[in-house]
């Protein structure tokens, strides 16, 4: 109905603004969820693609851990075992709790080292002594590899957040990746993608 001459049109009902705001919030939330949600690989990896998405072949690397052991992509996965890459610093508190839960998960599996773990420290101010103190302070397993990032892994693996994680199968294919703080169930789901704990 048209307003009479000189009469102001009635304002839109407030619920219309609420609907518009809710629609925008849903779109923003959906795009964030899509960008940051954990991703799992398809059953068959595209051959020859080196990248950081599930289904890609993981980029090669070469680090020396705090015990002087050389760690490479293929070396980490030797013996047909899957591997886990975990990017952190000594001061990332959620990462510490995530690693405690990983340690618990691995211990409860019972088998000795059913998968290999490489923890990559990305703060360039932290050296081997800092990393060793970190491992010893929190009582993390000595069977894990702890190494400062001396091979530009942050760049190779496109790491944008602390607590970034990759699960690799024995054929060097990324099967799972995530950037959120990890709990016990996170590790259970992540390692199930490579047949651990099923």
pLDDT of 140-189, one tens digit each? 999 999 999 999 999 999 999 999 999 999 999 999 999 999 999 999 99
pLDDT at 11: 57
| Res. 31: pLDDT tops 90 | no
Question: How many structural domains does the chain have?
Answer: 1
Q: What CATH number does the domain containing 108 carry?
A: 3.40.30.10
Q: pLDDT band for position 32 (50/70/90)?
A: very low
Q: Between residues 92 and 29, which one has the greater pLDDT?
A: 92
State the DSSP string of 7-63: PPPPPPPHHHHHHHHHHHHHHHHHHHHHHHS-EE--SSPPTT-BSSSTTSBPPP-EE
155 falls within a domain: yes
2 falls within a domain: no
Q: What is the pLDDT of residues 37-68, one digit of tens each?
A: 555 444 445 556 889 999 999 999 999 999 99
Q: How far apart are CA 95 and CA 131, in angstroms?
A: 14
132 falls within a domain: yes
Per the structure, the complete domain to which residue 125 belongs is given by 39-192
What's the predicted TM-score (pTM) here?
Answer: 0.76
- Which two tokens mark 145? 């590899």
3 falls within a domain: no
98 falls within a domain: yes
The proportion of the chain whose per-residue pLDDT surpasses 90, expressed as a percent, equals: 72
């Amino acid at each position: 109905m048209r307003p009479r001459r000189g009469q102001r049109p009635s304002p839109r009902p407030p619920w219309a603004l609420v609907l518009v705001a809710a629609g925008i919030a849903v779109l923003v939330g959906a795009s964030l969820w899509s960008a940051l949600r954990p991703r799992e690989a398809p059953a068959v990896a595209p051959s020859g693609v080196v990248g950081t998405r599930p289904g890609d072949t993981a980029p090669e690397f070469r680090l020396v851990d705090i015990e002087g052991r050389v760690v490479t992509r293929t070396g980490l996965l030797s013996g047909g075992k899957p591997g886990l890459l975990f990017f952190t610093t000594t001061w990332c508190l959620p990462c510490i709790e995530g690693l405690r839960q990983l340690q618990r998960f691995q211990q409860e599996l019972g088998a000795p080292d059913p998968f290999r773990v490489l923890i990559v420290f990305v703060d360039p101010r932290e050296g081997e002594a800092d990393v060793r103190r970190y491992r010893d302070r929190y009582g993390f397993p000595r069977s894990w590899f702890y190494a400062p990032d001396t091979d530009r892994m942050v760049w190779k693996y496109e790491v944008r957040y602390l607590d970034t994680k990759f699960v690799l199968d024995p054929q060097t294919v990324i099967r799972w990746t995530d950037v959120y703080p990890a709990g016990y169930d996170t590790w259970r789901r992540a390692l199930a993608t490579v047949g651990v704990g099923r």
